[in-house]
Amino acid sequence: MEKTVYKNKLIKALRRVQVNDLILIILALCLLLTLALAVKNMGRERTIIVPPVVHDKFWVDSNDADPKYLQEMATYFIFLANNVSPENIEYQNSLIINYVNPSEQGILRTQLAQQASRVKRNQLTTMFSIIGFKVDAGANIVIINGVLKSIIGDKVVSTTEKSYRISFQIINGQLYINEFGEVNNNDPFGEIINEKQ
């Protein structure tokens, strides 16, 4: 009888050891999973951004952003670039330049200066009305379609359908413009159209 009691106690002890081993294996797997996630997310930080005009909350990681944020910022920049007059174009261009990737500032600064010269020379006022967007969040590119109205004095001299592409780069959570220009309506991912000044 004593032998049976000891045998039962031994079986129970072995079961407890097996249960403890199983728990230990599960905890070790959880620890490895946590370590893998920590390594994967090392250096990534999500920041909540408030754009110039707040319509919604957005997130920005160290290298990418919420598509809604890209669309809001593209709206802001397209209005800065295209809702201009001889009186405000220099100021609006300076706001855009603050967001341009330093490696691209020379090119965009030249384009904006040419546009400012044309606006001042012709005493031109332009207004852009957005019709639609295409956002490629993976590539941080926004295509904006709309109508650009050009006015000299109080006379509308042209109303043209236009498409613009803005390519963004996000470095450590900071948004930069890499490319900004007019594109062909039928091929928005093609070459930027260079205006003849």
pLDDT at 148 over 80: yes
Please, which residues bridge with residue 78 across strands?
none
Both 108 and 19 in one domain: the answer is no
For residue 152, give the nearest of 127, 129, 128, 125 by alpha carbon.
Answer: 125
Residue-range definition of the domain harbouring residue 16: 1-42
Q: In this structure, are 76 and 38 located in the same domain? A: no
What's residue 123's pLDDT?
Answer: 92
pLDDT of 167 reads 94
pLDDT tens column, 96-122: 998 998 888 888 889 889 999 999 999
Q: Which residue has the tokens 């639609």?
A: 132
Answer whether residue 130 shows pLDDT above 50. Answer: yes
Of 183, 92, 75, nearest in space to 131 by CA: 75
| Residues 28 and 101 reside in one and the same domain | no
Which of 97, 82, 91, 70 has the alpha carbon at shortest distance from 175? Answer: 70
| 60 in Cβ contact with 46 (< 8 Å) | yes
Q: Are residues 37 and 61 in the same domain?
A: no
- With vertex at residue 136, the alpha carbon angle to CA 187 and CA 147, rounded to the nearest 5 degrees, is 50
- Looking at the structure, tell me whether residues 86 and 126 fall in a common domain: yes
- 33 lies in the same domain as 88: no
What is residue 48's predicted lDDT score, i.e. its pLDDT?
Answer: 56
pLDDT, residue 126, reads 95
Copy the structure tokens of residue 153.
């004095």
Does residue 144 sit in the same domain as residue 106?
yes
* pTM recorded for the entire structure: 0.70
